[in-house]
Structure 1
Amino acid sequence: MVEIVNRYVGTVDHMFHCGDSELKASDELWEHFTVVSGNCDYDPEYKMEQVVTIGQDVIYMTHGHRSNVRFGLTMLSLQAQEAGANIALFGHIHQAVAEMDQKMLFVNPGSISQPRGPVQIPSYAIIDSEEAGYHIQFYNRAHQAIEELAADFSR
């Protein structure tokens, strides 16, 4: 995580962590991130959800364990819509996901330390948000693009 901060701080608009860091909420690493509590985070100072506005995007972020993301994105979608968001970020399943449904962009960056699922590559994601749409690029621990996971969506 420190390496990711050092690489991107000042070059991206914002950094998010979707939970399960197992760090204290007061850890100095978090001065660079908006972060939420995961099911493996026990510090009560973490928030369960966050809403951030960046330019034309309203981003809703939650870990996802209370949204039942293992069984689909319906509850997460409803929560994000209620927050007025057009982007929903989540964790919990530790799988790289980028999909668009009814003008809502869903992104799970995967996990840099404990990837799961069919593509078990440690990963994080960068969302490039433009007026016409989004480009989502996933990267491995060596900061190399994982081209087969890249996705583009119109708004």
Structure 2
Amino acid sequence: MKVLLVSDSHGKGNLLNQIIERESPDHVIHCGDFCTDRDQLPSVSMTVVKGNCDWEDVPEEAIWEGAGLRFYVTHGDKWRVKTTPLPVKYRGEEVGANIVCFGHSHYPFCEKMGDVLLLNPGSISYPRGFPYPTYACLEVVNKQVKATYHQIDGKEIHERGGIFSF
């Protein structure tokens, strides 16, 4: 199963559509700050949460289960992710997540802490502290996750990601 992980698109729906078309994921996770009307998001299998800049009535957090794994999705602003990943990790543990997906910092992050994989795809529109906009792809087979990070043109970023088993 292929999962596309994006965040902080900040109104760039056309760019989001291009990435989805190129990657052809089975499911999309958007970690908030989409900053458009909900009906302007692509009509694909998608889990979306509300970011601090969103006005649409979507959940602030969500659980999605796919390929035998449990994903916790949040924007991250309520969990102080710009300071430390620990509060969002603990929330993920509370809800029994294998993978915690968050945004808000606009900075790509990938680390397994204990039994929880923490993933921030960065921002496809306005990177902070990283030289270019990014998104992540997850290939999940038999509870093994291969996480790859990409520039918005699809070029892989080799210094991010990895292979993780659950």
Q: Give the counterpart letter for 1:5 in structure 2.
A: I
The answer for the alignment partner of 2:22 in structure 1 is 7
The answer for the alignment partner of 2:158 in structure 1 is 147
Q: 1:141 to 1:150 in 2, by over 3 A?
A: same
Secondary structure of the corresponding residue to residue 70 of structure 1: coil
Q: Is 1:52 the equivalent of 2:64?
A: yes
1:18 to 26, 31, 45: 31
What is the Cα-based RMSD across aligned positions, in Å?
1.6
Q: Give the counterpart letter for 2:117 in structure 1.
A: L
- Larger RCO (CA under 8 A, 6+ residues apart): 2
The answer for the alignment partner of 1:41 in structure 2 is 54
1:7-38 Cα offsets, whole Å, 9 max, x none, are 233xx331111111111122242544211111
Contact conserved, 2:27 with 2:44, CA < 8 A, in 1?
no
Q: Is 1:99 the equivalent of 2:111?
A: yes
> Between the two proteins, what is the percent identity of the paired residues?
32
Distance 2:48 2:79 in 1: 17
The answer for the alignment partner of 1:138 in structure 2 is 149
Q: Is 1:127 the equivalent of 2:142?
A: no
Structure 1 gap segments, 5+ residues each: none
Displacement of 1:70 in angstroms is 1.2
Contact conserved, 1:5 with 1:32, CA < 8 A, in 2?
no
The answer for the alignment partner of 2:120 in structure 1 is 108
Q: Give the counterpart letter for 1:20 in structure 2.
A: D
Displacement of 1:120 in angstroms is 2.3
- Tell me which moved more, 137-146 or 26-35: 26-35
| Higher strand fraction (1 or 2) | 2
Secondary structure of the corresponding residue to residue 52 of structure 1: strand
Displacement of 1:132 in angstroms is 6.1
Structure 2 gap segments, 5+ residues each: 1-15
- 1:73-84 matched pairs, under 5 angstroms: 73-84=85-96
Displacement of 1:69 in angstroms is 0.8
How many pairs were matched up?
A: 151
